[in-house]
């Protein structure tokens, strides 16, 4: 879970995650990557770690962005299944077991959520919808909700992903590029209780367009061949 200036959300979120995943038969770790927060997020995480030993904290020296935070979390995670979620309490940790069950029930490399009943402003929903349509059009995809932070991955599917800035916007597409199958599952969405969104419209739109073009280039340049024989 990437964390940037979310001090007010963290105690409630860590408590909810513990309630959702507190089965002694299935231990878990919670990797929180503090992305150079300028508030008391890091101090709050350190305090929470005394009560929640499953909490693993990675702290950046300066703000590096969501992709860098997710990549650091992927490297730190030790489980066979890796879940991503936002730290602003808008994702419901109670949906995590369903994502994990769907992943373990089949051969998919990832199960990604799509938000039902979005609790954002109308303007933010419009921005998100336009971005989703554009990304799917440029990449030839049909992902319902590319911006949903709640996703489950098999850990071995994350290793081969190319570590470039902006990767987090296209994780399902990159999984498919590597030959993996991606499933989609409806998840709940909640209104933001604390703080403000960290994304501005125009910066987000421009970066999303550039990243979509990069992924489109990768799709067109991928190697396509079939081995007829292999005689060592």
Pick the CATH number of 2-221 from 3.90.550.10, 1.10.1330.10, 3.10.310.30, 2.40.128.20: 3.90.550.10
Distance, in Å, from the CA atom of 48 to the CA atom of 31, rounded to the nearest integer, reads 12
Number of H helices, E strands in the chain: 8, 7
Instruction: Output b/e per residue, 215-228; b: 16+ Cβ within 10 A.
Output: bbebbeeeeeeeee
CA 97, CA 73: separation in Å to the nearest integer?
20
Q: Is the pLDDT score of 129 beyond 70? A: no
Q: Which tokens hold the place of 122?
A: 């109308």
- What is the β-pairing status of strands 110-115 and 151-154? antiparallel
Alpha-carbon gap, residue 67 to 149, rounded angstroms: 12
Task: Region of 29 please: left (phi>0), alpha (psi -120 to 50) or beta.
Answer: beta
130-178: pLDDT as tens digits: 666 666 666 667 777 888 999 999 999 998 887 777 777 888 888 888 8
Q: Which of 19-23, 37-41, 202-206, 222-226 has the lowest average pLDDT?
A: 202-206
Q: What is the pLDDT of residues 31-79, one digit of tens each?
A: 999 999 999 999 999 999 999 999 999 999 999 999 999 999 999 999 9
Give mean pLDDT, residues 105-122: 85
pLDDT at 208 over 70: no
Domains in the chain: boundaries: 2-221
* Residue 57 near residue 45 (C-beta atoms within 8 A): yes
- The tokens for 143 are 């992902």
Instruction: Give the range with max mean pLDDT: 12-26, 27-41, 213-227.
Output: 27-41
Rounded CA separation 9/7 (Å): 6
């Amino acid at each position: 879970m990437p964390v940037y200036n979310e001090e007010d959300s963290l105690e409630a979120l860590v408590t909810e995650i513990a309630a959702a995943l507190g089965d002694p038969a299935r231990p878990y770790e919670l990797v929180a990557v503090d992305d150079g927060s300028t508030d008391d997020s890091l101090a709050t995480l350190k305090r929470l770690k005394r009560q929640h030993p499953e909490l693993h904290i990675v702290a950046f020296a300066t703000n590096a962005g969501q992709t860098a935070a997710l990549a650091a979390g992927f490297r730190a995670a030790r489980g066979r299944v890796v879940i991503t979620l936002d730290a602003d309490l808008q994702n419901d940790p109670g949906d995590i077991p369903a994502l994990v069950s769907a992943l373990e029930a089949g051969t998919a490399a990832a199960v990604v959520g799509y938000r039902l009943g979005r609790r954002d402003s109308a303007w933010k929903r419009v921005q998100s919808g336009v971005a989703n349509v554009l990304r799917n059009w440029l990449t030839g995809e049909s992902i319902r909700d590319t911006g949903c932070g709640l996703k489950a991955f098999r850990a071995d599917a994350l290793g081969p992903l190319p570590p470039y800035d902006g990767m987090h916007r296209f994780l399902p597409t990159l999984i498919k590029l590597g030959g993996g199958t991606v499933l989609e599952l409806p998840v709940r969405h909640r209104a933001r209780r604390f703080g403000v969104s960290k994304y501005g419209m125009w910066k987000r739109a421009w970066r999303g367009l550039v990243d979509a073009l990069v992924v489109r280039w990768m799709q067109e340049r991928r190697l396509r061949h079939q081995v007829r024989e292999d005689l060592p």
